[in-house]
Structure 1
């Protein structure tokens, strides 16, 4: 039985989509006004079918899905019958030939029995860009990599189109894409990374390897030159002082022993740690508690056995008691020997600062003016690595860390420190000096000045030295403001952020005509207010700097042309002080205003990629390592977690794994005078964390309201740092607000 015919006439008014903004605003051209004023012809059957044909491109097909076999014949007969019956209505209507042909051809095409017409496939060129016809124009700053594009196109969009950038990120993928390196780096990957093929640019992060070698040698010629180098080193004046005079003045006042609980969760042990004492917390995991490690070490020495002969404990590391909040902390780079140095800064206590009058207290807010000349000290602690056949080495637990050097100053609190990270080849001139040179250190003091210190140590490793620093090798201060942050651009150039939103760049190389007050060769306003932090994209893009400010802006700026070559990331309500550059990922690591760590790729800085989520607000992000892509993130709740964001950068849908290093808890002492009690929890496994911002499933919701927990400052993780030297690339240090510093080798065996 033949089925009844159905009308294809549109049931209602045709939907019209306006693409012309002038037409949407009510402005018509002369031709459109003429056609609008002309009388409209009657709509015949042919026009109704034309409307139906046009609507079929964008609207749903109303035919039944089970009538696919008859659709073709039905549509052809319908069109022929409609054309034959076009008599009076079609004579009255004024159709053009193009419309009739369009109706005829549109009705004769096969109509798929689908609920919606699929979107047209965009034609692309081999490089991934849209293939636009010559008569059309297409302008876009950068196309969206979230579209369904190939892996090669995604790499070019995220990391660059130059083959050096692509080869360097592919080299990093081959090295660090295994499942064992999803959180902490494994020792096998660290040992074999130099043996794997780097495609010519993997080890140099996309740069020419010859340029990297040239910088490590010729880049330091000015320092060893007889004229420039001698004038540079003679600027620094130091005075050796007595330890009994330095400790009461430049160090925090002792407040008693700090109680520490550490060990297995069901059998934690209690230790008491005095100020500047160290604790081998591996003793808490010893199976034979009756025989401490010290006695085991002595027995091993008497028997003449090596340190490898003793049984390795489950966890090994050191805890230092600095005595006050850890303000700054960083490992010293360019150390190729077994001895490694950790620089730590802890300001004096508030009651000690009351002894020094503030001459600037009536000159505005404390953050925008110099502070009183408080005393402060830079502490350098020595650790030793255990000699082994492998490339990377563990911490030597038979060597007790000790304080090697204390640089004392009267310039206020030392708020920021930055060691010169550029590689530096050893030279014969280093052995001629009576002291050992360990590197150049740039610092920001609370009096508003930036200073560079040439740090040197005595040749006796068992001696602790105390020096009073009267004059550094370089110092500068912008007019009418104070310095807030500092980073290195090259072995001779430093960039400084200021409280007025300006960025200043100086060359520390002295010249014959240099004035007493050095003048920056770059001094421009990049933000509207206080700059929280800045970092350089060294070594891949040393001329590019990233800055964060109190106005919530995070910007990427080229110092070659700061007005044109600049881009901003998503603005936050609260500025973030965390910013570090990873040359392996070609991205900056930062945080948002809450508890997410994010990556900002240099090529796509205007978008961010979430890579970690912490249980509380982020308070510290580690400096990125040159030897592995893992990052450490600490929060106000005392938790430190590690993650490898490489998988997330390569494929957005990959699972992101996080693993907790430790969790720190702090409790106030009963009399409110002592340093309190700290407890460490260890032994966490790697977990997959959802990075979706969903308030409905947010664990911080209490009765439908988002709640933020406020922790004591002593619980916070204030500073995190990876060891920048390849020999000890798995070493990490964490500083807490209570004054404890934890050092451990995190490379997984």
Structure 2
């Protein structure tokens, strides 16, 4: 092997060298590991031979010194942005002592092959290295969603894009295989069960009297364009249809105006919500766990607060939303009002959380499983019937015994905090002591229990369907952790940045990106940060977006990579996480879908003559039609602004010295003005009404309706919206052509908003790496 003169004193380790996109060569220890990532391991000799092809031998020593100086300067620039320990050769062969120097902040950061400036070609290999055809599948994702950076596109029935969105990383026969297994498992359950589910049909009056929240008064809602809003009165169970532009439809019989969704009044606070996974072009069902307003009302006397043991009546409402097909073959919301199709009533306490079984079935099977965590600390699996024959007032059932009952271990003060489905017969429950228990539904028994955290677990999410037994857990206080239930004692990792989480429903999974989105620590209480972590590079987090207020709930699309975020200020945001992760230099945007604001009514006895027509439930205002905003990191903006201010101060100081030498002393009014204009705080902190917040979000998991989204507000309103955008609105031919011309190999991924591209990327940023595009 021939070495260059500049490399004669460079010693290479005999181990392999990872081909990293930014030109760095990280040396690993002598290990032999059989994995799918071997294809991007390059031999040291081959890499040196490639470098020799571009080697230029200098004519004399002066040219050599000049060239060597340039290379040293370039190397210093690269080392300025990424630091590699000097003992990298032995970092993986032995455990290094934990540094005690407080200035070494890198102990809580990610040090690995994937960087923020890693090119998309290598990023796809690192993220999806266990899939053989990963580049082909991911290229289809790029062609389908990259140019729709705000909301997902509407896909016509029977199209190739719709099948790609439905299957994702799974084979084409996966859905049918899971459906067949679900049917056979259910038949085996019926033959083995000894305590079947016992429902009792009750009338509507009894259901609303004892179980369902009931409000007698109506609510005032301000809807329409911001410059011409009109007040509408809505009661519990009523709905207001609106067009694609968000304007309420006065005449429901006018089919010339295309319906864009509904605004529904459920008369209570929605704690959890989810669409039923159903196959086929059928009407959609939305299940909601609803509690009365009194459960979260303000009490001056703490003795008047209702005790948890007294709140025994709970319910889960399932609403039916009809759909109709337009001339383009796209399913749209119908003009007819949604109906309460099913109501599950029980005496097990309030329903705190609920989730559908993720395996979809057709309505002909009349089988659907839903798991509900109730106020008594017990998780119950309930079998319901989703038939299309209930066109009246719906079916009201009082349940005495569920299909399966999952109780926490008999230990002192031990409770079930959250749960997640692994498949149709496995559920993982997270306990208040920080442990995770895997349960079997049929037969109903625990299979394993594994300690994960030292504090109560607030959220647990499974990677179904591509990685069903990989779970992420968010503790109340501690490290965000990823555990493989196949080998829980060996396969486990966590992110080194500790978090404090008190809000549920802020951890979600996306199977197309095969990663998790969750809330992240922020230094400013007026904003909340949302980050993305991939399951294969879990310790590395990437900033997604920052919303005003506190993040109350998140929702990731099942058939697309779009995220919904609900905030405490009543706003709902949407963005394309695929574009955010795969685009490094392009500016990404986020869109505020709507803004909800609640005004509480006057206290009883203080009404005036002008307030006689005001509702006792208060008044809401919903604004829509917001312009997209640049999705940037506020920390990067503040750092860039601080740099500009310091640079301006230095320039003024230099001018001031020159002027002082000529004309005398200079006033520092301009410097004070800069100090007044510059602030590290993005803006004032606004405290909103508690019922203004967004309580739950949900994307429709069915591919034919995957652009339908539901958002529940604290005031008791639920907005179901057809968020999708048609191809002709974005220019389908133009955008498809641009999308097919995207070169993912030349793209980069990460988030360095507010930093200089030249400083961050270095000289290696202009290298051309091509990636084959597949039709």
Shared fold by TM > 0.5?
Answer: yes
Aligned pairs for 1:213-252 within 5 A: 213-225=176-188, 228-232=189-193, 235-252=196-213
Within the candidate set 394, 397, 400, 1:470 is matched to 400
Find the aligned partners of 2:140 and 2:620 in 1 and give their Cα distance.
42
Contact 1:182 1:644 in 2 (8 A): yes
| CA positional deviation for 1:156 | 1.4
Tell me which residue corresponds to 2:436: 503
Contact 1:638 1:715 in 2 (8 A): yes
Find the aligned partners of 1:142 and 1:148 in 2 and give their Cα distance.
14
- How big is each residue's C-alpha offset from its partner over 1:565-598, in whole Å with a ceiling of 9 and x where there is no partner? 1111243442253111111111112121451221
Within the candidate set 97, 113, 121, 1:152 is matched to 121
Within the candidate set 285, 288, 293, 2:251 is matched to 293
Contact 2:182 2:359 in 1 (8 A): no
Within the candidate set 340, 347, 359, 1:403 is matched to 340
311 and 418 in structure 1: CA distance in 2 versus 1, 3 angstrom threshold = closer
147 and 441 in structure 1: CA distance in 2 versus 1, 3 angstrom threshold = closer
Aligned pairs for 1:64-213 within 5 A: 114=70, 117-119=73-75, 139=92, 143-146=112-115, 150-160=119-129, 162-178=131-147, 181-187=148-154, 190-191=155-156, 194-196=159-161, 204-213=167-176
Find the aligned partners of 1:456 and 1:234 in 2 and give their Cα distance.
18
- How big is each residue's C-alpha offset from its partner over 1:296-331, in whole Å with a ceiling of 9 and x where there is no partner? x1xx6xxxxxx4xx143xx73211111121111111
585 and 235 in structure 1: CA distance in 2 versus 1, 3 angstrom threshold = same
| CA positional deviation for 1:523 | 1.1
Find the aligned partners of 2:77 and 2:619 in 1 and give their Cα distance.
64
Find the aligned partners of 2:65 and 2:471 in 1 and give their Cα distance.
58
Contact 1:474 1:508 in 2 (8 A): yes
| CA positional deviation for 1:424 | 3.1
Q: Which runs of 5+ in 2 are unaligned?
A: 1-57, 79-83, 94-109, 299-304, 523-527, 605-614, 643-676, 727-775
Contact 1:168 1:202 in 2 (8 A): no
Contact 1:492 1:508 in 2 (8 A): yes
1:613 aligned counterpart, secondary structure: strand
- How big is each residue's C-alpha offset from its partner over 1:122-148, in whole Å with a ceiling of 9 and x where there is no partner? 9xxxxxxx9x9xx97674997332276
- How big is each residue's C-alpha offset from its partner over 1:625-662, in whole Å with a ceiling of 9 and x where there is no partner? 23221111110011111100112222333322111110
Does 2:451 match 1:525? yes
Find the aligned partners of 2:358 and 2:539 in 1 and give their Cα distance.
27
| CA positional deviation for 1:727 | 2.1
Contact 1:261 1:271 in 2 (8 A): yes
Contact 1:183 1:658 in 2 (8 A): yes
1:221 aligned counterpart, secondary structure: helix
| CA positional deviation for 1:149 | 5.0
| CA positional deviation for 1:501 | 1.0
Within the candidate set 477, 481, 491, 2:424 is matched to 491
Find the aligned partners of 2:378 and 2:557 in 1 and give their Cα distance.
28
Does 2:347 match 1:380? no
TM-score, normalised to structure 1, is: 0.71
1:224 aligned counterpart, secondary structure: helix
689 and 285 in structure 1: CA distance in 2 versus 1, 3 angstrom threshold = closer
Q: Which runs of 5+ in 1 are unaligned?
A: 1-70, 77-106, 123-129, 301-306, 355-360, 431-435, 511-517
The number of equivalent residue pairs is: 583
506 and 113 in structure 1: CA distance in 2 versus 1, 3 angstrom threshold = closer
Tell me which residue corresponds to 1:676: 618
1:633 aligned counterpart, secondary structure: strand
442 and 161 in structure 1: CA distance in 2 versus 1, 3 angstrom threshold = closer
| CA positional deviation for 1:472 | 0.4
Find the aligned partners of 1:352 and 1:588 in 2 and give their Cα distance.
30
Contact 2:484 2:491 in 1 (8 A): yes
Does 2:290 match 1:346? yes
1:218 aligned counterpart, secondary structure: helix
Instruction: Tell me which of the two structures has the higher relative contact order, counting C-alpha pairs closer than 8 angstroms and 6 or more residues apart.
Output: 2
Within the candidate set 672, 676, 701, 1:724 is matched to 701
RMSD over aligned Cα atoms: 3.6
Contact 1:155 1:650 in 2 (8 A): no
Find the aligned partners of 1:581 and 1:194 in 2 and give their Cα distance.
26
Tell me which residue corresponds to 2:538: 605
Find the aligned partners of 2:709 and 2:223 in 1 and give their Cα distance.
18
Tell me which residue corresponds to 1:579: 507
1:145 aligned counterpart, secondary structure: coil
Tell me which residue corresponds to 1:737: 714
Tell me which residue corresponds to 1:547: 473
| CA positional deviation for 1:709 | 3.1
| CA positional deviation for 1:194 | 4.1
1:411 aligned counterpart, secondary structure: coil
Tell me which residue corresponds to 1:691: 633
Within the candidate set 688, 693, 718, 1:711 is matched to 688
Contact 1:348 1:376 in 2 (8 A): no
284 and 323 in structure 1: CA distance in 2 versus 1, 3 angstrom threshold = farther
| CA positional deviation for 1:544 | 0.5
Does 2:519 match 1:591? yes
Within the candidate set 340, 343, 349, 1:412 is matched to 349
Contact 1:451 1:474 in 2 (8 A): yes
Please, which moves more after superposition, 672-681 or 601-610? 672-681
| CA positional deviation for 1:687 | 2.3
Contact 1:665 1:679 in 2 (8 A): yes
255 and 610 in structure 1: CA distance in 2 versus 1, 3 angstrom threshold = farther
| CA positional deviation for 1:154 | 2.2
Find the aligned partners of 2:533 and 2:686 in 1 and give their Cα distance.
28
Please, which moves more after superposition, 108-117 or 721-730? 108-117
Within the candidate set 371, 389, 392, 2:330 is matched to 392
| CA positional deviation for 1:461 | 1.9
Please, which moves more after superposition, 649-658 or 206-215? 206-215
2:74 aligned counterpart, secondary structure: coil
Tell me which residue corresponds to 1:28: none
276 and 498 in structure 1: CA distance in 2 versus 1, 3 angstrom threshold = same
467 and 426 in structure 1: CA distance in 2 versus 1, 3 angstrom threshold = closer
Contact 2:546 2:634 in 1 (8 A): no
| CA positional deviation for 1:675 | 1.7
1:223 aligned counterpart, secondary structure: helix
